[in-house]
Amino acid sequence: MDTANSSPNTQDLALYFSETCWFCARVRHVANELGIKVELRDIDHSRERRDELIAGGGKSQVPCLRIAHGTRPVEWMYESADIAAYLTRRFGAEPA
């Protein structure tokens, strides 16, 4: 196995979430199943995180995955199914 794939680089990702949101729990479960660690930003316990989410993504809806693309603009991905699909495409097991 390629060592780069054994420790996925997730430094470009941050998940804005709420502990009481079932859809957020779904995304966190997918990340856990994929064995990846995504920075978690709890909007219920940090006004700063909520403000970042609104300023960057345009709304306070969670879950929201912030994806940094280097020199390209940051992407704000909403909807748990879309986030789960993105994480699975990017970090899921490669076909044999």
Torsion angle of the four alpha carbons 26, 16, 40, 86, in this order, in degrees rounded to the nearest 10: 50
DSSP annotation of 58: S
Q: What's the CATH number of domain 18-91, 3.30.420.40, 1.10.357.10, 3.20.20.20, 3.40.30.10?
A: 3.40.30.10
Q: Which residues of 25-43 are buried (b: 16+ CB within 10 A; e: fewer)?
A: eebbebbeebebebeebeb
Residue 94's pLDDT band (boundaries 50, 70, 90)? low
pTM for the model stands at 0.86
Please state, rounded to an integer, the average pLDDT across all residues of the chain.
90
Q: Tell me: pLDDT of 4 over 60.
A: no
What's the alpha-carbon Rg for the chain, to the nearest Å? Answer: 14
The CA-to-CA distance between both ends of the chain, in Å, stands at: 12
pLDDT of residue 65: 98
Task: Give the tens place of pLDDT for each residue, 55-70.
Answer: 999 999 999 999 998 8
Task: Give the tens place of pLDDT for each residue, 14-63.
Answer: 999 999 999 999 999 999 999 999 999 999 999 999 999 999 999 999 99
